[in-house]
Structure formats: structure tokens, C-alpha cells
Structure 1
Amino acid sequence: MVNLIRSSEECIYIKYLFLDKHERVIEYPTLFINSRLNNARYSPQTVYQYSKVLKYFCCYLERNQPNISVDDSLRAIEGNFIDTYIKKMSYSGLKAATIRNRDAIIKEFMVWLTSEESGKARENSGYIESKLKSAKPSRCLPKYVVTEEVIRFLSYLHDENQRCLVHFLYDTGVRISEVPRMKLSDLPDLSKHPLEANYFKLHIEGSKGRGGQIKPRDTYVTRTMIERIHRLHQNNKVYLKALVRYKKDMPLFLNVFGELLTNKAISDLIYKAKIRSEMNIHAHRFRHGFAMSILASEMDNSLINKLVMIKEALGHEDIQTTQIYSSIAPQVIQKIRQENIDNLIPCRFEEAQRIYEETFKPQKNHKEKRGRSKRVSSAKNSSTNS
């Protein structure tokens, strides 16, 4: 079994280490991954994804060629060995897009093995020209959430802090990774705008640039969402105490200890609510839901203009990425619009207001029991009984 070690220390040379079942260093993937880590074109998250894919591939090599080292296998395997590996992935039930992604990473690694940097470990990559071995996946329609699903999902979150955060993901279409960088001061000042203004540009220090660089952009936020966030900050004791420490750099969202929320913490709270609610919802569906909400909204009469709005708001590099929303049948968009009208939601602002009214609870009215408190109380009861 191949082990992958990611060092958390500030080390100049090795950040990642691949080890075989005998705890011996696997040289080639270790050198390859660390070369990518030092390359400005690759973000840390991309390098981590590369490392996981190569770990799976090295594990397969170790199982199927147990009598030689993984490095020797990498030097010797033919293209048909990789073909077999790709086919086994498809038999295992992995999605075509996932297989395609892994295929591309393995190809890049195998090509690197033919380079001077690797010491020309191989004469050829095992790939024919620039062609990948996997089938090109068909583009699937985006899976999104609608108003009623958002309301239901928020009801399974523990408190107003969590509900406000997830509502914010849907209202603005931001990525989870962008939330920790946002500050209260980033919100538009409502006092400087007329009362009839219901939509505002919101500046985002974006993600997913080359080398992890920040890609700034503007998205849209409703007046209702801004008011909900301010109410959270003005009435939650955790936020009131934290303001003394953070002052002008007050984060938009905090955890129960008054500390900055991490990407993992946000992902975890959504995942746990998904389990409790038995709804097949993940964070990206709120982002798709935001796009669908724009398409079904009154914000512009032109589909082209709405697609441009979505492209800018979601931070897509290419309009072709946004074109996936144009392939959604007009009947689907019309159905969403009609359902909104039937539920007295004629516009996006009314949608935000409905979600707010249906899901807001003052902090003093929260009676949910967290998992930890249940464990603590049960432990106390057992010790009392004994």
C-alpha cells in the first residue's frame, strides 16, 4: 500500500513523500509532485489533487507488479497497462469526468518521465501523441437547488450563523474557498443607496487562479442578504465579542469560538446537514442554484445578458463554461419562474426575503442539541448511574 505524506513544515525541498509498503521512498512521483508544487502555474489544491491521483496509480502498480519496485514499474510499463487501469476505473463506477481528469494527470506524469528533469526514465510516455486514453465525457446539465429546497435544507442547520452562511452561498454564488477571505466591510453600505435598490455588486477576492493567485471579480447580493448578515453581527454574542479583536478586519463569518471559519469547516457543516436532511445537496449546487435563479429572474429580459451576468458573477474565464446554462431547456426555466410566482416570489429580492422569513430564528430560540453536547450529557448520565 502506497503512503502519501504531506509535510506541514516550511521545507525548501520536499513537501510530499510517496512511500511503498516497505516504507521506501518512491522517487519519481515524489520528484514530480514537488516540481509542480514549486511551479507557479499550479495551485496548492491542484498539486494535492495530482498527488492523490498518483497515489491511486502507484497503489495499482504495487498490487499488480509486487515483485519489483514501483519506480522500476514506472520505467517499464507499456501503454496497454495504463489502458487496463483506465478500463478498471470505469468498471468501478467512477464518473467519466473523474476518469478523464485522472487520465490527464497520469499522462502529464508519464510525459514528465521522458524529460531531462526525470533523468529520462522512459523513452516514451505510453501515450500516443497528445491523445488521452479515456473517452471524452458528455457535458451534463448542472444540478441545482431551488427556493423550496434551500428553505428545507437550512432548516437542518444548527443555528442562525450556519443558516446565514449557507443562504449567502446561494444568494451570491461564491465558492466555499472564497468565504474565509470576506470581511464585513466588503458589504455595500445600504445607507448610501436608495431604498428601492434591491441588488448590489459585491466585490470578491476570488479563487482558482494559476498558482493559487487571487482573481478578483464582482457578483450580486440582495438587500435582504446584507440585512440578514448585519442582524447576525449585531445580535450574536460571538460576533459582538470578536469585533473588539478584529475591528476593521471583521470577518463576514465566524465559528462558535469567534475564530475564522475554514474551508473544511464550511464543507463539514454542509455535509452533516446533508446527512441529517437526507437531501443529495453539496456546496456547488448552491452555486448552480444562484445561476438558475438569475436565469429565472426579472434582472434582465435577454438570455445573452443574463449569461454574461452569470459568467462575471461566477468568475468563469471563458463564456463557453457558462454556456452549459444555455443548454437548459426554456421550459425548465419557465417552470422555475412559474413556481416562484405561484409561491408569491415574483423576483430574486422576494425570493431572498422568503428564505429569510422562513429560516430565521433569534439566537435565544435555538434549542438544537449539538452532537458534542449530547455525548457530554450522556457521559454525565452514565457516570451518575454508575
Structure 2
Amino acid sequence: MFLSRILISDGLFDLTCSYVSKKNFEKSNLTSSIESLLQQANPFKNVAVFNSKGQLLPKVSHWLSMCFKNEVLATTTIKNYGRSFSYLIDYLNEHDLFKDYSNDDALMYIEEHHFKEYFVYLENEENLSLSTIRNREGAYSNFFNSYLSKKKSRPLQYREDSPFSSGCLSKKGKNKLIELIKIDELIGILNLLARESERAVIQFMFDSGLRVSEIPRITKADIDDALAYESGTIIDDDTFCEGTVYKPFYVMGSKGRRNEIKPRYTYVSVSTLHRVKRYISSPIYRKHFKQNQSNNPIFLNSRGKPWTTASLKKMISRVSKKALLQGIIKKNLHPHKLRHSFAVGFLNSNDLGTDAAHRLLILMTAMGHEFLDTTKVYTTIPADIYCHYLDEHGSALHRNDLMQITWDKTKMNLFKKFGK
């Protein structure tokens, strides 16, 4: 029987339901005061969080429902917060001190040292990374500081104190080195894929720096607009001189607050854009979109449906396992590694911008970073890690050259089966 830890509904949803599965609904024995409070939430936008036994967590559910209703948090953040609390309550249900508390009532009494014990448990017993533990702590501290420990936010029950009043309780994660994939590794990975739609989307992610969640939003109009942009060398965000092989590409960014789209521009090589254009001009693509409409999605899966964030991650994970087995790569490939590789390649391609400092500023915009310090992490990667490809004259190849080489070595005949 399927059981979900968190449910988010845009439709009518009864938060007093304590057990949810595909086949079974049971009413909980919530007190009338809790039930009354939950019903105050907008019945058209609700979040329900459950422990592993299928029991509702009323306080957490009410808080996240308020965040969902008022668009205080992004939907993905709400999902992550809900799971974090579900795991915490499972732990407390086995704790000698809290195991007799029902639902999430233990949150009214848990103290600072209990959280420290929990974070040590996650590190030593669950083998979670320090960054993952710190992310979970963010959910807990937000809940206590903005909701449970404030009477105005919590009209029924609230705490006078917060376990996180003194700051973070978990260990600070160690700074990790940026992991990249090289061009020869990218070529090897692409040649493992049987479909041009898969090869094109991975090369596009490598060459654009887009987050995996931003790929499904790309339309035919975005590709056409980028290719139609006046040719030129990037001088600044508004000025181009004739001769560029990079095009500004409009991105509907995923890092806006409260589920808002945060638009920006990145810069994509002409070679990659032409590869994508060739794919969407092929019979393979046009059999799914016979009408040439500007809002047609670009990247399609094997069933002709637009890639989702989850399906893209699964596809990349699948080819990563094959590449590891064949020795093409030494470490797992994940979507963000493609984004990292774009950033380092951008900084080490001296045909972009006027100098290294200027490239860094352009990259900050392309990556969608708010602060330059976030982008500066990519300057710690030695240039020879990426730019070790030379032409026949011994000159370093630029980013667009490398993308053209990638396309040439992984190109598929999209017209052969149709007699062209």
C-alpha cells in the first residue's frame, strides 16, 4: 500500500485526515481545538505532512499550509521541509523521552541538546552529509523562530522559547571542491545515448549553465530568438560587436522567491544552438509537433513528452552508471556538475568579455547569482583542468570550438530512416 509523507493540494483537502493512502482514508482522534484550527486554513490550498506510520503532523501541516496559502515559501522548499519534519518525528517516536507523545506534540518540548543529539545521529548513523543536515536544520529553525515560538503566528499553542535562539546547532559543512566533466568525458557520455533528444539536452545543459528545473521551460521561440540575435562579441550586458559565436539566451529562472520566475540571460554557443535547431527541424521531432508553434517545448523524452525535472535527473543518472562501468568517468555525473562545467569553461574562454574580471561579471548574470562571491568559487579551478584542448597551431580552443567538436563527434543522422 502506497503511503506519502507529504501531500500538497490545490483543491479541497481535509487536514484532519490522519492516514492517507491510495485506497484508505481514516479520521484521526484530534482534539476539537486542533481540528478547528486546521479548518481555519484556506481549504483550497493545503499541505499535509505525515510520519512513516501515516499519522498527521498537525502543527507542521498547519504551518506549511500557511506558507503555501500565502506563498511565503516555494513549493519545492515546502516539500523538502515536510520531509525533514517527517524524518525528525520518526526519530522522536523512537526516543525514550518523546516516544509517548502523539503526532508532533514532542515539538513543544524538544530542547537544544536534543537537536544536537539528532544531528550527531544523522551524521554517524544515517551517514548524511553535513550540508544535508544543515539544510534540515534550516527547516526546523524556520518553523520554531517564525511560527511555533511566536504567539501571533500560532494562535492555539506556542512556545516561549526556541531551541535555535542561539543560532545553528549542527556542524558547518566543509567547502567542497567544484567537480567538472571534461570535453572528452562529455563526448563519451553522449555517445552512450541512443537518442538525439538526450544528446542535445545534455550538451545544452553543459553549454548554457541552466539548472535542471529550468530546462522544461525552454520553447522553440527561445531557440529562434537566440539564433536571430545580431552577431557580435560580448562587450557588456547590452553591447555586442560583430563576429560573436555566442548568443544571449533568455532563461525563465528557478530561483525566484515564492515560486516566482526569476528571468535572466545566459550565453550559449552557436554550435550548440544549431544542434538543437537541427533536432527540432527533423522528422523525429516534428512527428510529435506537426504545427510549427513558437511555444512548442524543445526537449522531449522517448515518448515525445517534454522532459520533467525528475525524468531528466533519472536519464542523467542512468547514463552516469553506464559511463562509470565503461570507465568514461570516474565519479557520478549529476545535473549540477554540468552547470559547474559551464561556469569554468566560460571563465577560461578568453573570447568572451574584455578580460577575466569582465567575464566573471557576465558569468554572475548568466548563472543567476545575486552575489559575486558566489560566482568567485569558480575562479579557484586551474585553467588547465578545462582548457587543455589545442588546435593544429597550438592555440587554445574556445568554448564554441569545443562545442562544435562535441557535436561533430556525437552527431546522429536524423533523416536516414526517412529516406533523406
TM-score between both structures, scaled by the size of structure 1 = 0.86
Q: Which has the higher helix share?
A: 1
What letter matches 1:33 in structure 2? Answer: L
Q: What do you get for the CA RMSD once the two structures are aligned? A: 2.5
Cα distance change, pair 153–365 in 1 and its aligned pair in 2 (3 A): farther
Q: Equivalent residues in 2 for 1:253-292 (5 A)?
A: 253-278=299-324, 279=329, 280-292=332-344
1:51 Cα shift?
0.8
For the residue of structure 2 that corresponds to 1:229, the secondary structure is helix
Match of 1:137 among 161, 167, 173: 173
Shift of 1:351: 0.3
Residues 18 and 346 of structure 1, relative CA distance in 2, 3 Å threshold: closer
State whether structure 2 residue 101 is matched by structure 1 residue 101. Answer: no
Match of 1:59 in 2: 90
Measured after TM superposition, the shift of residue 161 of structure 1 is: 0.9
Secondary structure (helix, strand or coil) at the match of 1:100 reads helix
1:189 to 201, 205, 227: 227
Structure 1 residues 142 and 236, CA, compared in 2 at 3 Å: closer, same or farther? farther
Aligned-residue offset at 1:139: 2.5
Give the match's secondary structure for 1:200.
strand
Q: Determine what percentage of the aligned residue pairs are the same residue.
A: 25
Q: What amino acid maps onto 1:347 in structure 2?
A: H
Seen in structure 2, the aligned counterparts of structure 1 residues 347 and 125 have a Cα distance that, compared at 3 Å, is: same
Which structure would you say has the larger RCO, counting Cα contacts within 8 Å and 6 or more residues apart?
A: 1
Q: 1:109 corresponds to which letter in structure 2?
A: F
Match of 2:411 among 360, 366, 375: 360
Letter in 1 for 2:384: Q
User: Which 5+ residue runs of structure 2 have no aligned equivalent?
Assistant: 13-41, 233-241
Distance 2:176 2:186 in 1: 22
Contact persistence 1:345–1:351 (CA under 8 A): no
- What is the CA-CA distance between 1:264 and the residue it aligns to? 1.5
Using the TM superposition, give the Cα deviation of residue 246 of structure 1 relative to its aligned residue in structure 2, in angstroms: 5.9
Do the aligned residues in 2 keep the contact of 1:107 with 1:127 (CA within 8 Å)? yes
Asked whether the 8 Å contact 1:141–1:325 carries over to 2, the reply is no
CA contact 2:227–2:270 (8 Å) conserved in 1? no
- In structure 2, relative to structure 1, the CA distance for the partners of 1:291 and 1:24 (3 Å cut) is closer
Question: Residue 47 of structure 2: which of 3, 12, 16 is its match?
Answer: 16
Contact 1:199–1:221 (8 Å) recurs in 2: yes
Instruction: Say which SS state the counterpart of residue 167 (structure 1) adopts.
Output: helix
C-alpha distance in 2 between matches for 1:168 and 1:204: 13
Provide Cα deviations, 1:74-109, integer angstroms capped at 9, x if missing partner: 112222111100111221322221111111211122
Give the partner amino acid of 2:227: D
Higher deviation after alignment, 32-41 or 222-231: 32-41
Matched-pair contact (CA < 8 Å) for 2:207–2:342: yes
Aligned to 1:69: 102
Counterpart of 2:29?
none
| 214-223 vs 36-45, which moves further | 36-45
The alpha-carbon deviation at position 297 of structure 1 amounts to: 1.0
Task: Give the letter for the 1:81 counterpart.
Answer: H
Measured after TM superposition, the shift of residue 218 of structure 1 is 0.7
The alpha carbon displacement at 1:21 in A equals 6.1
Matched, 1:125 2:162: yes
Cα deviation digits, residues 109-145 of structure 1 (max 9, x gap): 222211223334322112233x110122233222121
Distance 1:75 1:260, change over 3 A: same
Whether 1:33 aligns to 2:64 is yes
The verdict on how the C-alpha distance between 1:191 and 1:98 changes in structure 2, with shifts beyond 3 A counting, is closer
1:190 shift after superposition: 4.7
Within 2, Cα distance between the matches of 1:60 and 1:348? 49
Equivalent residue, structure 1, for 2:296: 250
Instruction: Determine helix, strand or coil for the equivalent of 2:307.
Output: coil
Letter in structure 1 aligned against 2:194? H
Determine the C-alpha separation between the residues in 1 that align with 2:132 and 2:94. 22
Name which of structure 1's ranges 96-105 and 251-260 shifts more when overlaid on structure 2. 251-260
Q: CA deviation at 1:245?
A: 4.2
The match for 2:188 among 138, 144, 152 is 152
Aligned residue for 2:363, secondary structure, equals: helix
Residue 212 of structure 1 is matched in structure 2 by 259
Give the direction of change, closer, same or farther, for the CA distance of 1:246–1:52 in structure 2 (3 Å limit): farther
TM value normalised by structure 2 = 0.79
Query: Per the alignment, do residues 23 and 346 of structure 1 end up closer, same or farther by CA in structure 2, a change over 3 Å counting?
Result: closer
1:234 matched to 2:268: no
Q: Do residues 333 (structure 1) and 333 (structure 2) align?
A: no
Greater Cα offset, 98-107 or 117-126: 117-126
1:70, distance to aligned residue in structure 2 (A): 3.5
For 2:227 and 2:110, how far apart are their aligned partners in 1?
Answer: 62
1:166 Cα offset (Å)? 0.5
* Closer, same or farther: CA 310–59 of 1 in aligned 2, 3 Å: same
Runs of 5+ in structure 1 lacking a partner? Answer: 367-386
Q: State the distance in 1 between where 2:260 and 2:230 align.
A: 32
Q: Say if 1:86 and 1:99, in contact at 8 Å, map to a contact too.
A: yes
Supply the distance in 2 between the matched residues of 1:324 and 1:30 (Cα, whole angstroms).
38
| Higher mean displacement: 42-51 or 116-125 | 116-125
User: 1:183 offset after TM fit, Å?
Assistant: 1.1
Deviations 1:298-351 (A, max 9, x none): 2246222121121111111111211211233xxx21343234558976111110
What per-residue deviation string (whole Å, max 9, x for no partner) do you get for residues 226-260 of structure 1?
111111112232x2133334622222212233332
Which of 105, 111, 127 lines up with 1:78 in the alignment?
111
Letter in 1 for 2:71: A
User: Compared with structure 1, are the counterparts of its residues 359 and 22 closer, same or farther at alpha carbon in structure 2 (3 Å cutoff)?
Assistant: closer
**Matched-pair contact (CA < 8 Å) for 2:5–2:52:** no
